[in-house]
Amino acid sequence: MPLADNLTSIRYLLTDVDDTLTTDGRLLPETLAALYRLEDAGIDVIPVTGGCAGWCDQMIRLWPVPAVIGENGAFYFVRDPTGKVEFHSWDTPEAGLASRQRLLNIAEVAMACVPALRLAKDQPYRLSDVALDHGQDVSGVSAEDIDRALATFREAGANARASSIHINAWFGDYSKQAMAQRLLQQKYGLTEPNIQQYVAFVGDSPNDESMFAYLTHTFGVANIGRWLDRMTHHPRYLLAQRGGIGFSELATLLLRAQRRESKADIGGNDGRSILANGKGP
């Protein structure tokens, strides 16, 4: 099936943030405009990020997004019908605090093994995980260094993944995929077949592999190319542009597909949408 036909059913776009929505660390005007264009078209954009709770609180309050999943699935923020923001955690806050302290101890060992690593500057605003900076404000960290740090966490029983800028580590059975599935089922009422039909994901690094493995409609911005040989699960489609420009490219494809579907509905369905409320069941 051609890509354009594959996109006509998409009503939810889940997206990584760093180096997927952002370009060289910035949210470009055209990318922010793409978020608003998707919202206007009835496509909900939901960031799914390793970013800290502090950043996620800002995202849902300032961006045109109805929900945000943060710290690789430790929690989500969602806006209720009155516009107020709700917080939902995978574990209890007490469990998250205890895990974070254990992880900080392991992080000290990892940084001793790879001296160029540093705690991410947003670490004080994290609730559950630990992030080591390997490419945001530091340099000189090789792929082999990243692997050594990942192994340090995993040998201590923690989960650990590398994003384009951070090494994220956490304890528990949550992930980007697990929390995305929970959010889509609990807050949007989607069944598993609905999720596979109506939801797409776009990302840029190994930290997004659980999403690439889970969903049918998956995309990688062009800068994912540097990671592909280190990944088991790849996006189904690669975009031509990198970062937020690649996200804007995908937004244009989705909006064109919606326009094609609308014309088909008018021609064959007496103007009625084939999806209830434009969002599926």
Q: What is the CATH number of the domain that holds 201?
A: 3.40.50.1000
Give the domain range for residue 132. 94-170
**Residue 281 located in a structural domain:** no
**Residue 2 located in a structural domain:** no
Q: Is there a single domain that holds both residue 15 and residue 52?
A: yes
Distance CA 229, CA 110 (A): 24
For the stretch 157-204, pLDDT in tens is 999 999 999 999 999 999 999 999 999 999 999 999 999 999 999 999
Task: Report, as an integer, the average pLDDT of 223-230.
Answer: 96
Q: Is there a single domain that holds both residue 64 and residue 201?
A: yes
pLDDT of residue 60: 98
Q: Could you tell me which of 199, 203, 205 has the C-alpha nearest to residue 180?
A: 199
**Residue 277 located in a structural domain:** no
**Residue 275 located in a structural domain:** no
Between the two ends of the chain, the Cα-to-Cα distance in Å is: 23
Q: Does residue 275 register a pLDDT over 60?
A: no
For the stretch 230-241, pLDDT in tens is 999 999 999 999
Q: Could you tell me which of 127, 125, 46 has the C-alpha nearest to residue 93?
A: 127
**Residue 71 located in a structural domain:** yes
**Residue 273 located in a structural domain:** no
Is the Cα dihedral 33, 38, 42, 47 positive or negative?
negative
Number of domains making up the chain: 2
Q: Is there a single domain that holds both residue 117 and residue 85?
A: no
Q: Does residue 132 register a pLDDT over 90?
A: yes
Q: Does residue 20 register a pLDDT over 50?
A: yes
Pseudo-torsion of CA 136, 142, 148, 152, nearest 10°?
Answer: -10
Q: Does residue 72 register a pLDDT over 50?
A: yes
Q: Is there a contact between 16 and 203 (Cβ–Cβ < 8 Å)?
A: yes
Distance CA 250, CA 243 (A): 11
Q: Is there a single domain that holds both residue 181 and residue 251?
A: yes
Q: Does residue 280 register a pLDDT over 90?
A: no
Task: Report, as an integer, the average pLDDT of 144-162.
Answer: 97
Task: Report, as an integer, the average pLDDT of 111-126.
Answer: 97
Task: Report, as an integer, the average pLDDT of 84-99.
Answer: 92
**Residue 196 located in a structural domain:** yes
- 122: tokens are 């947003």
pLDDT of residue 4: 56
